[in-house]
């Protein structure tokens, strides 16, 4: 991918990357200052995509990144975030409050301790962040409902900047701890990888206000039928920041279990951009065809960073390929598509409410994901 | 080393030459004893967590099916045809989800440097050995090998899925992990 021009000092940018063992959103706040939400690995370079991107635009992550937010704790969603943390020594790091608990650490630590599992322990990234934090004395920030985690003013665009976490709620916190106890290893239990398929009770949702302009980054938060968890508690909160967002990072890869009509009705502008990444590591593909249709009916400006399916695996030599074809009903494929990018920028001071979209291969309009 | 070799050391520490002088009844008894021990070991959900075993788990050497590793022990004189599995391609994978007759897995190529993303496969449960089905669950680790089984002059193309009997968590592992968790909990400063 060639990203050409960096944003001007007074321009706002939201860029979403994925897939690549996770997704990553980078936001230019103005004046060459950035925040990074989650992380994924660039399928071309093997490096964290945020670091590649900032370097390609001529920014030094060492100086340019003010804040990193981890919305997840599992490696499959935050590939490379420990490297991002290490490369951005001036950035604060924000993660869900439940990760601070002894319970979470006690359950997940055995998975990371002397892990023998291919593809990593599943909790390596978050442990490495904590170890760096302990080693270098870099404090971490707890994400919790309606907590302001960054405030700034005096930018070239002349607007105040405020970044607020909207979740996880107290009830989500409790549910997560209850869920995760099912992973608690016992003596004589066979080692394995912690399952990535736990409900996303804990995901951090982020609200970014820059003057009158706002963005809602939904992490992977799922909707529930309960008033004190999921999206309902956020929509119903009287303490959440005022305003409506123009850009929405659709949660949980557009899945219907993360959809809330109320979010679209009460938290987003009439003219809004929806961006998302696909997920294809399990047997359920996200977004599904009906998910894509639903989102496209809610906004004509809906984009996805890549197709669902990874490309076909390389063909092996003849006897091996014959066996593969005999054993598998479907062809062997790469676990994910190549990493793509959707970039949304405004026009700076001269046109703060005017936005344009750029798609970097293999990103596409969401309506093209499942051609008729 | 494998459990089969440990059994042989226990039963016949003095080596193969002494075996040659045993009469047929002794041989039969020996074979039966070893078969029972090997069977008992196979029936355990996991192998004992010994340092030898851990060294084996870290090794990138191809996994050889247990039955085939035992074959030399059962080999009678004169030479019976030996089955040898020659791997042409191997992946190590972990299970993402399990359905009625298939499971989805992410595979990492152990034969040639593969794409960092890994590969995704939907594998039939019918290809999993019945002995391994109890190990099949989300997060479980296995090896998928494709190659040839050579037995005498016969050569057959074969695919096998063997679930790795990773070491168990020991009390010591959990104690160390808990100490690490406590260290992090106390060392990381949260604002």
Encode pLDDT of A195-218 as tens digits. 655 556 689 999 999 999 999 999
CA A3 to CA A343: how far, in whole Å?
10
* A61-82 confidence digits (pLDDT tens): 999 999 999 998 887 789 999 9
Q: Residue A119: pLDDT above 80?
A: no
* Stronger pLDDT, B187 or B28, i.e. the higher one: B187
How close B27 comes to chain A (CA, Å)? 35
Q: Residue A178: pLDDT above 70?
A: yes
Q: Enter the tokens of residue B18.
A: 């002494």
3 state SS of A126 = helix
Task: Look at residue A57 in the predicted model and tell me its pLDDT.
Answer: 96
3 state SS of B167 = coil
Give yes or no for a contact between B147 and B162, defined as CB atoms under 8 angstroms apart: no
CA-nearest of A264, A272, A266 to A247 is A272
CA B118 to CA A274: how far, in whole Å?
29
Task: Look at residue A77 in the predicted model and tell me its pLDDT.
Answer: 81
In A292-331, the residues whose Cβ lies within 8 Å of chain B are 310, 313, 316-317, 319-320, 322-324, 326-330
Q: Quickly count helices (H) and strands (E) in chain B.
A: 6, 5
DSSP states of A295-331 as a string? HHHH-SEEEESS-SSPPBPPPPPHHHHHHHHHH-SS-
Tell me the sheet residues that pair with B107: B93, B119
For residue A369, name the pLDDT band (cuts at 50, 70, 90).
very high
For residue A172, name the pLDDT band (cuts at 50, 70, 90).
confident
Asked if the Cβ–Cβ distance from B120 to A130 is below 8 Å, we say: no
Task: Look at residue A93 in the predicted model and tell me its pLDDT.
Answer: 97
Q: What percent of chain A has pLDDT over 70?
A: 95
Nearest CB to B119; choose among A46, A137, A313 = A313
Section A324-350 average pLDDT: 93
Task: Look at residue A120 in the predicted model and tell me its pLDDT.
Answer: 62
- Helices B171-187 and A124-136: crossing angle in degrees, nearest 10, is 50
Q: Does A127 touch chain B (CB under 8 A)?
A: yes
Section A86-113 average pLDDT: 87
Asked if the Cβ–Cβ distance from A193 to B141 is below 8 Å, we say: yes
Q: Is the pTM of this model over 0.95?
A: no
Q: Residue B188: pLDDT above 70?
A: yes
Question: A154 exposed, middle or buried (CB, 10 Å; 0-12, 13-18, 19+)?
Answer: exposed
* Stronger pLDDT, A182 or B179, i.e. the higher one: B179
Task: Look at residue A324 in the predicted model and tell me its pLDDT.
Answer: 95
Nearest CB to B97; choose among A116, A130, A283 = A283
CB < 8 Å to B108, chain A: 118-119
Q: Residue A181: pLDDT above 80?
A: no
Average predicted confidence (pLDDT) for chain A: 91
In A48-77, the residues whose Cβ lies within 8 Å of chain B are none
Q: Residue B182: pLDDT above 50?
A: yes
DSSP conformational letter for A338: P
- Residue in B139, B178, B183 to test binding to A, most A beta-carbons within 10 Å: B139
* A140-164 confidence digits (pLDDT tens): 999 999 999 999 998 999 999 999 9
Q: Residue A113: pLDDT above 90?
A: no
3 state SS of A31 = coil
Task: Look at residue B14 in the predicted model and tell me its pLDDT.
Answer: 33
Task: Look at residue B76 in the predicted model and tell me its pLDDT.
Answer: 57
How close A9 comes to chain B (CA, Å)? 30
- In three-state form (DSSP H/G/I as H, E/B as E, the rest C), the secondary structure along B16-36 is HHHHHCCCHHHHHHHHHHHHH
Q: Residue B59: pLDDT above 80?
A: no
Lowest mean pLDDT among A39-48, A106-115, A323-332: A106-115
* Stronger pLDDT, B76 or A70, i.e. the higher one: A70
Lowest mean pLDDT among A124-138, B65-79, B103-117, B166-180: B65-79
Lowest mean pLDDT among A287-296, A323-332, B46-55: B46-55
Section B145-158 average pLDDT: 91
Q: Residue B176: pLDDT above 50?
A: yes
Nearest CB to A190; choose among B45, B159, B174 = B45
Task: Look at residue B120 in the predicted model and tell me its pLDDT.
Answer: 93
Asked if the Cβ–Cβ distance from A117 to B94 is below 8 Å, we say: yes
For residue A17, name the pLDDT band (cuts at 50, 70, 90).
very high
Task: Look at residue A225 in the predicted model and tell me its pLDDT.
Answer: 79
Task: Look at residue A191 in the predicted model and tell me its pLDDT.
Answer: 75
Lowest mean pLDDT among A212-216, A326-330, B41-45: B41-45
Q: Residue A234: pLDDT above 80?
A: yes
* B92-136 confidence digits (pLDDT tens): 998 988 999 999 999 999 998 777 778 999 999 999 989 899 889
* Stronger pLDDT, A262 or B68, i.e. the higher one: A262
Asked if the Cβ–Cβ distance from B88 to A137 is below 8 Å, we say: no
Asked if the Cβ–Cβ distance from A187 to B178 is below 8 Å, we say: no
Give yes or no for a contact between A134 and B187, defined as CB atoms under 8 angstroms apart: yes
For residue B74, name the pLDDT band (cuts at 50, 70, 90).
low
Distance of CA A7 to the CA centre of its chain: 21
Q: Which helix (H) or strand (E) holds B183?
A: helix B171-187
Q: Residue B54: pLDDT above 70?
A: no
Lowest mean pLDDT among A48-52, A108-112, B91-95: A108-112
Asked if the Cβ–Cβ distance from A328 to B173 is below 8 Å, we say: no
């Amino acid at each position: 991918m060639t990203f050409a021009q960096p944003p001007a000092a007074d321009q706002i940018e939201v860029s979403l990357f994925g897939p690549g063992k996770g997704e990553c959103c980078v936001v230019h706040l103005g004046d060459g200052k950035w925040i990074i939400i989650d992380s994924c690995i660039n399928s071309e370079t093997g490096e964290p995509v945020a670091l590649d991107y900032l370097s390609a635009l001529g920014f030094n992550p060492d100086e340019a990144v003010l804040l990193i937010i981890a919305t997840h704790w599992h490696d499959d969603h935050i590939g490379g975030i420990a490297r991002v943390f290490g490369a951005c020594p001036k950035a604060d790091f924000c993660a869900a409050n439940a990760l601070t608990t002894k319970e979470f650490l006690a359950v997940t630590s055995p998975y990371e301790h002397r892990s023998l599992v291919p593809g990593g322990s599943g909790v390596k990234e978050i442990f490495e962040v904590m170890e760096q934090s302990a080693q270098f004395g870099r404090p971490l920030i707890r994400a919790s409902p309606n907590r302001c985690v960054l405030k700034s003013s005096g930018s070239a665009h002349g607007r105040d900047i405020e970044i607020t976490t909207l979740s996880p709620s107290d009830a989500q916190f409790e549910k997560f701890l209850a869920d995760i106890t099912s992973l608690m290893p016992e003596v004589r239990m066979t080692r394995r990888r912690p399952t990535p398929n736990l409900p996303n009770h804990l995901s951090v949702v982020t609200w970014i206000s820059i003057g009158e302009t706002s963005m809602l980054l939904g992490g992977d938060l799922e909707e529930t039928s309960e008033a004190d968890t999921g999206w309902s508690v956020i929509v119903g909160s009287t303490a959440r920041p005022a305003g409506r967002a123009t850009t929405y990072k659709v949660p949980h890869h557009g899945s219907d279990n993360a959809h809330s009509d109320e979010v679209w009705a009460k938290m987003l502008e009439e003219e809004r951009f929806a961006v998302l990444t696909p997920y294809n590591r399990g047997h359920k593909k996200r977004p599904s065809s009906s998910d894509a249709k639903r989102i496209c009916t809610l906004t004509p400006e809906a984009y996805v960073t890549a197709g669902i399916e990874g490309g076909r695996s390389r063909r092996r030599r003849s006897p091996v390929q014959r066996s593969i074809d005999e054993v598998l009903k479907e062809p062997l494929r790469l676990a994910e598509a190549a990493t793509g990018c959707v970039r949304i920028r405004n026009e700076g001071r001269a046109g703060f409410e005017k936005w344009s979209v750029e798609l970097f291969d293999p990103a596409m309009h969401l309506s093209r994901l499942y051609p008729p | 080393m494998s459990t089969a070799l440990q059994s042989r050391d226990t039963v016949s520490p003095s080596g193969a030459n002494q075996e040659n002088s045993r009469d047929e009844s002794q041989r039969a008894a020996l074979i039966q004893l070893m078969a029972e021990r090997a069977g008992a070991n196979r029936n355990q959900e996991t192998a004992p967590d010994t340092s030898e075993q851990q060294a084996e788990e870290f090794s990138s050497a191809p996994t050889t099916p247990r039955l085939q590793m035992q074959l030399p022990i059962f080999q009678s004189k004169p030479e019976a045809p030996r089955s040898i599995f020659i791997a042409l391609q191997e992946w190590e994978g972990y299970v993402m989800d399990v359905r009625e007759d298939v499971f989805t897995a992410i595979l990492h190529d152990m034969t040639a440097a593969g794409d960092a993303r890994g590969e995704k496969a939907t594998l039939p449960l019918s290809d999993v050995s019945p002995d391994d089905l109890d190990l099949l669950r989300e997060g479980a680790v296995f090896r998928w090998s494709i190659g040839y089984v050579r037995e005498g002059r016969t050569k057959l193309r074969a695919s096998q899925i063997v679930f790795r009997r990773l070491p168990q968590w020991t009390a010591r592992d959990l104690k160390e992990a808990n100490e690490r968790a406590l260290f992090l909990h106390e060392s990381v400063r949260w604002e």
